[in-house]
Amino acid sequence: MDEIGIIVSSDDPKNLAMATNLGHVALTMDTDVFLYFTFDGLTHLLEGEKDLSSVQPLLDEGMPNPYDMLDQLIADGGEAVTSVACTTTLDMLQWEQDAIDDDLTTQFAGAVTFLEAAEEADHVFTF
């Protein structure tokens, strides 16, 4: 496997944890990771504090913080990880690109960019 695509369209931190865990595993297998944040999933890339109350019991049991996992995936991956904020969603929600954390986002692009990456990916997963 050379590349996987991961669509993150849910604002649930559990889904982010699953997506980033899959990304970390892919990196250990020398597989590039293309993360596409769209719709509610785009909230994971917003600057500022994140609400972890829905996963607090899991965090208390030892699950890593999903936002730390995302930070680490991007830091560890270097050029092997592409993290895209969907510009179509930004436009629909009337959010400014300045609201998105530049440390978590390597690219701003729309559906065409995702479809091109998905065409090259060996597998595409959705969370």
Check residues 111 and 81 and name the one with the higher pLDDT.
81
Task: Supply the range of the domain harboring residue 35.
Answer: 3-126
Q: Residue 107's pLDDT band (boundaries 50, 70, 90)?
A: very high
CA pair distance 22, 54, nearest whole angstrom? 21
Give the CA radius of gyration of the chain: 14
Q: Residue 23's pLDDT band (boundaries 50, 70, 90)?
A: very high
The per-residue pLDDT for range 62-77, each reduced to its tens digit, is 999 999 999 999 999 9
pLDDT at 29: 96
In one letter, which amino acid is 64? P
- Over residues 27-32, the mean pLDDT reads 97
9: Cα within 13 Å, side-chain hemisphere = 9
Count up the domains in the chain and report the number.
1
Question: Domain holding 56: CATH number?
Answer: 3.40.1260.10
